[in-house]
Structure 1
């Protein structure tokens, strides 16, 4: 299929979606799944409250885990933002002309399409962990076309009451090709775990950590994304600024900080910082955490070393990250 034919189909489906208005009958947590060419795509339909109209598409079990992670409510906005930047999905939005990526504006012009008015411009973004949301490529456009090709008839059937789904009792709307397309309600799959507890395999090093002197120190360890993206010639899309830091509760001083690059493993970064913290200052009495990645990375070590872990909201950290945001953006 020629490049512009793919994009023409994409905008045709987007226009049909807007005319259909399925967001008026579904909430974003009413999940829809489609099995296409032996791949399962999970979709969340946004716009029920009249803002952020769009569709996000997640592939496979890992995609479903990402979808589940953003479906939760979190006590801190920083955690919600962290989850947004940690997902892998393709998203269609309706927005303003200023929000449309430059490349897509050129395609719209090339195709001779006309969009006018605030909130009436379709655009498409790719979300990849550690990177800022970026415009989709031709291959990703083809994926969205394939999903829309089957998602729109599915939504028409649902809106015409041809298939019933009890979303409130854990069902999802499902479409699959079984000698012809079938639409049905199925039980929502068990939620996929996104953050696994990590055990330190080096027993000798763990024994060394356990023997470090015990202190009354209290630390906060936090991991968060700053707003905006940074252009780095080493990558083909803007990088999201990820910050890992440790704060001494008594002095309110940052004692360790790092900004992992996209290729750095977050789990290793969290473990390394915590272990260095104990080596430099001794075993703390308490650790305060809000980020689930930090928790899953170091909870096992904390239990072995008898360090008390507190999972709590950390509003004071938002001020620190806001200051970092300010200085980086200048």
Structure 2
């Protein structure tokens, strides 16, 4: 059952947010620079990135565990070819932002009033947000607030130590700033390490069913070019199964030249995307035959399809845009669905 942050948790969050705002760490860190916090009693580290080097969006993103970091790195790797709307709904993190009053959630304005906190000026208002893959952004709950408090507190210390120790980090080469508690010494410390233990990548799938592979290879070659993509439909759904509103994801397979839908699959957060991708391709081949080529723009889909497409002699081509898919999705928005 959801528990709201206590007033003391809010008070601590604003206190830490003010310290970070005054430090202006975005002058020294880029958006993709990684700071890791290894917290006692936690099996996996927390990770932070600092926003604002570009001078537009200022804040701190916090990612929980290795899955959280991999999700962040994967999204960052996708920014050049995936639609912004898709990327925004894929993210999972806790955020502390510094912006203008008009974008601060109303309930947090009320919290500020209750605490007697006032902000003035451009990019001076502090507010907090929770993001979860496949869901709409939401207010943090009490557990998330406590995670963010711990992370912001150690982030402040890590930045101070980095300056005091004059650590030189090459984030582009894989350095990461690490804040950890040394049990044998009984104290915290900050150092730099390589990101190798946090390496990420997209999952791949090998079609091991030799009988199925043989059936697919025997299917007739057809003169079709397909577009294959996952998109979020611009619809917000409230369901008692989920603690916050969700955005449904659509897996879509369409013929490129005629715009015919050859397969589609809606699924909610948490369902098996890999299985859905493979089933859509296999069902298509079994019904229609082997297409000449498949256009994709999502490297996740590419890795899942690659082995099967190699077996079947289907060319996979990465594209910056998928015209038919985008037209289909835009049709949902025009209809208000």
Which TM-score applies when normalising by structure 1? 0.90
Within a 5 Å distance, the mapping from 1:303-322 to structure 2 comes to: 303-316=310-323, 317-322=325-330
2:158 — aligned with what?
Answer: 154
1:5 — aligned with what?
Answer: 8
How far apart are the structure 2 equivalents of 1:228 and 1:155? 40
Deviations 1:265-285 (A, max 9, x none): 111221121122112211111
1:130 is the counterpart of 2:137: no
The answer (yes or no) to whether the contact 2:96–2:129 under 8 Å persists in 1 is: yes
Deviations 1:239-284 (A, max 9, x none): 1232221121221333333322224211122112112211221111
How far apart are the structure 2 equivalents of 1:271 and 1:43? 34
How far apart are the structure 2 equivalents of 1:96 and 1:238? 25
> SS of the counterpart of 1:230?
coil
Pick the aligned partner of 1:16 from 15, 19, 29.
19
Gaps of 5+ in 1: none
Q: CA deviation at 1:227?
A: 4.6
The answer (yes or no) to whether the contact 1:88–1:129 under 8 Å persists in 2 is: yes
> SS of the counterpart of 2:254?
strand
Within a 5 Å distance, the mapping from 1:40-51 to structure 2 comes to: 40-51=45-56
How far apart are the structure 2 equivalents of 1:325 and 1:200? 36
Pick the aligned partner of 2:37 from 20, 26, 34.
34
2:75 — aligned with what?
Answer: 70
Q: CA deviation at 1:300?
A: 1.9
Aligned length: 327
The answer (yes or no) to whether the contact 1:245–1:257 under 8 Å persists in 2 is: yes
1:261 — aligned with what?
Answer: 268
Q: Which moved more, 1:4-13 or 1:233-242?
A: 233-242
Residues 241, 41 of structure 1: alpha-carbon distance in 2 compared, 3 angstrom cutoff: same
Deviations 1:116-166 (A, max 9, x none): 444332222222221122211111000110111111122123244543323
- After superposition, the CA RMSD in angstroms is 2.3
> SS of the counterpart of 2:196?
coil
How far apart are the structure 2 equivalents of 1:10 and 1:279? 56
> SS of the counterpart of 1:239?
coil
Within a 5 Å distance, the mapping from 1:199-210 to structure 2 comes to: 199-210=206-217
1:170 is the counterpart of 2:160: no
1:141 is the counterpart of 2:149: no
Which TM-score applies when normalising by structure 2? 0.88
